[in-house]
Each structure stands twice: as C-alpha cells, then as structure tokens.
Amino acid sequence: MLTDLSRATSRPLILACALALGAAFFATRFPDVPGASVGSYLSTFLIALPSAVALFRYLGWRQATLSLLALSAFGYAVETLGVATGFPYGPFYYGDALGYKLAGLVPYLLPVSYAPLVIGAVAASWGSPRRSLHALAAALLLVLMDAVLDPGAAALGFWVWPEGGAYYGVPASNYAGWLLSGFLAAAILLTTGKWLNAPPPGLLDSSVIALSFWTGVAALSGMALPTLLGITLIVFLLARRSRLRPAK
C-alpha cells in the first residue's frame, strides 16, 4: 500500500512535505532565531498555495474567490467570538508568535492557514450522498486534524489555553467547537462553490503539507498520540488523493 501511495504522490508534494518537516525542526528547536516571524509568514503562504491554485482551477476564479472570502470571513468571525467569549472552543487566546492581530484578537494570518484545512477535508470527504453528510464527514476529519495541530501549536505558543486540558493541555471543549465550526465551514465551502465533479487531488496537498509540519512538531515535542494520529491522517489523505483524478 505504501508503495502504491508513493507512486501516486507527486514529487513536488513529497519535497514540500520534507521541507515542512525541516521547518518543524527549526520551529521547535530555534523558535527565537532572528527572522523566525518572517519565516512563519512565508511558510504559511507557501503551504496554502497548492490548494488555493487547485481550487481556482476546479471552481473557476469567481466561485473560488467567493469561497475563499466566505471562509476567511467565517474564520475571523468564529475565532473572534471564541477569543472574546470562550464559545465554541473554550477559553483561549492567541499568543504573539503569529504576528499582528485583527482588533487585537485574531491573527491576520488565520484564513491563510485555516482555509486549506477546510478545502482538504471537503475534498477528502468527497462521495457523500448528501451535502449535509459531506459537511459532517469533513467536520469530523477537521477535528482529527486539529488533534494533531492544536497540541503542537500550544507548545509553540501560537495560542494559549489558560485553564489547560486533558489532551496535552487542550480541553475537550476545543474539539466540540471544531466539530461545530468545521461543519459550518464545510457547508459554506460547498454552498459558495459548485462541487459537482470529483475534486482534483491538488486540493488535498496543503492539508498533507500542513499535517507533515504539525506531525513533525508533535514528534519533536515528545507527543506520542498526535504524532501517531498525524502519520495516520497523512497516509489516509494520500490514499484519498490517489483516487482523485487530476483536473483536465
């Protein structure tokens, strides 16, 4: 199976995942090195680029732009609500590692890192018979992705859970919130764009690269469960990717 996946995986994607693992090493071992913030901005945009390009090819400029704007607006809205009120994730706030914040609450970088995960989850969940089931499947996948991402992000100081939590310092309420927000985000994506044909495999690439980075962070931070989950999700997404046909 792993041999088949490696054959179906493009060389640029393999290289990007390797670079993401290298970035995880520097993020965990040299967080205060000069230029780290610039590297964070650059890597965030580079990770998001493959899925953004694939989305524009799949939906066209008009629908892709509308989808990304809608996802960005939703991301800012739900995260602002979360920081200000604690709903739906539980009490948390963003650290300074992600740079400047909108209204002093949510980093400007948020949509650039959030939208590719939603796009990848929706593409990987393709085949559900109804839109509501498609959105639910994507939301469940997003919860699993966040179970890799959140412990590592907290360890790097990207965001802070002041009351802690049972899962590597992250509370269970966070994942209930991700289920709700993930369902709404997936529904927005499916509503703003016409996902009538099988999506191209490139829509999953940014999620795979992001998971490679966060799995690396988890491994280097000594977090066994997020590491194992991250590896499992990467294999799953690559398997789903191998079954999708490139856009003509």
The CA distance from 112 to 53, in Å, is 13
Angle between helices 205-220 and 36-59 (to 10 degrees): 150
Which amino acid does the sequence have at 11?
R
Note down pLDDT in tens along the chain; length 248 residues: 555 555 557 889 999 999 999 999 999 988 776 656 677 788 899 999 999 999 999 999 999 999 999 999 999 999 999 999 999 999 999 988 787 898 899 999 899 999 999 999 999 999 888 999 999 999 999 999 999 999 999 999 899 999 999 999 999 999 999 999 999 999 999 999 999 888 999 999 999 999 999 999 999 999 999 999 999 999 999 999 988 876 44
Does the predicted model carry a pTM greater than 0.75?
yes
Residue spans per domain, the chain: 2-242
